[in-house]
Amino acid sequence: MSDLPTNDQIKIGSKVAIEKKEDQGTGKLTEGVVKTKLTKSKTHPYGIKVELEDGNVGRVQKILSELVSDNSQSIRSKIYDKLKNTSLDELSKDSRDSDSSLKNLDRIDITIPKDEDTWNEFKSTFQYDLKEEIFRKNGKIEAADARRDDQKKIRDDLQKEISITVSAFANKEGGRLFVGVNDDSSVLGLERDLKFYHQSKDKFKLAITGSLKNFLKNNAFLAKLKFEFVNTDDKEYFIILVPESTEPVYLHFSNIQEAYVRIENFSQKFNTEEFLKHCKDRF
């Protein structure tokens, strides 16, 4: 029987020792104060997963102390005293400084990696059919016309691929999805997609978020996504930063619920049994 602390034994504010994923099997533990419990079940064979106040994430191996924040009332009194003796101008400046600091912390790494991997995926377009364009350039008019006639389905499939990647990242360790970048990591740009939205980047972004809402049906998770347009060499690409989710993120399509998990450089569809096994270890 496991001696690991159970979910109800671990309190927000408790000081604990966790085993981070990268330290598994090494015996190395990291100490800190529990900010959030990420495992919902009462027990877990490897320990209840938590996030510490310093941002570290791992599974609890020991409880070092029940609470380390009994002085919350004292802290609130100090905050009140500080606010009482601070002018509005100073508060405004502090707020601007804080916002600036947070923005720096939340900045997306815009560097395009050399290859797709567990944390990075390239998509040439959001909904523009690049294959039709290639067929026409190569003189394959009949094949190009066939794709044009099936344009709605092709656009839906292309948009679905975006949501598949986002859900797969969410169900693994998170990642970055680059739109407007070819499979060889070269920048194609967003011009083709932006034509659908009269060159409006705001409308393009709204279309992507609307598509994600339609396929994922999980507004709480979508609120955690971060987006950024990046200019380089007169071309522009778009990044979706996907965090590691604390609960399963499913794809909904034609009244069917599908589950995807990122494996190396592709998004693998899992059947029900496979995904249940994955969830037991992951969440």
Average pLDDT of the residues in 203-210: 97
Average pLDDT of the residues in 71-78: 48
C-alpha torsion 14→16→22→24, nearest 10 = -130
Single-letter code of the amino acid located at 178: F
- Report residue 187 as tokens: 């920048």
- How many C-beta atoms surround the C-beta of residue 254 within 10 A? 5
- Burial status of residue 181 (CB atoms within 10 A of its CB: 0-12, 13-18, 19 or more): buried
95-107 tens-digit pLDDT: 555 444 444 445 6
220-247 tens-digit pLDDT: 999 999 999 999 878 999 999 999 999 9
Single-letter code of the amino acid located at 186: S
pLDDT at 56: 92
- Domains, the chain, in order of start with CATH, read 7-65 (no CATH), 120-282 (3.30.950)
208 Cβ neighbours under 8 A, 6+ residues apart: 126, 162, 179, 227, 238, 240
The Cα 221–Cα 241 span in angstroms is 12
Q: Is the pLDDT of residue 27 over 80?
A: yes
Higher pLDDT, 216 or 105: 216
Q: What angle do CA 155, 253, 126 make, to 5 degrees?
A: 30
**Cβ pair 160, 267 in contact under 8 A:** no
Phi, psi of 254 (to 5 degrees): 50, 45
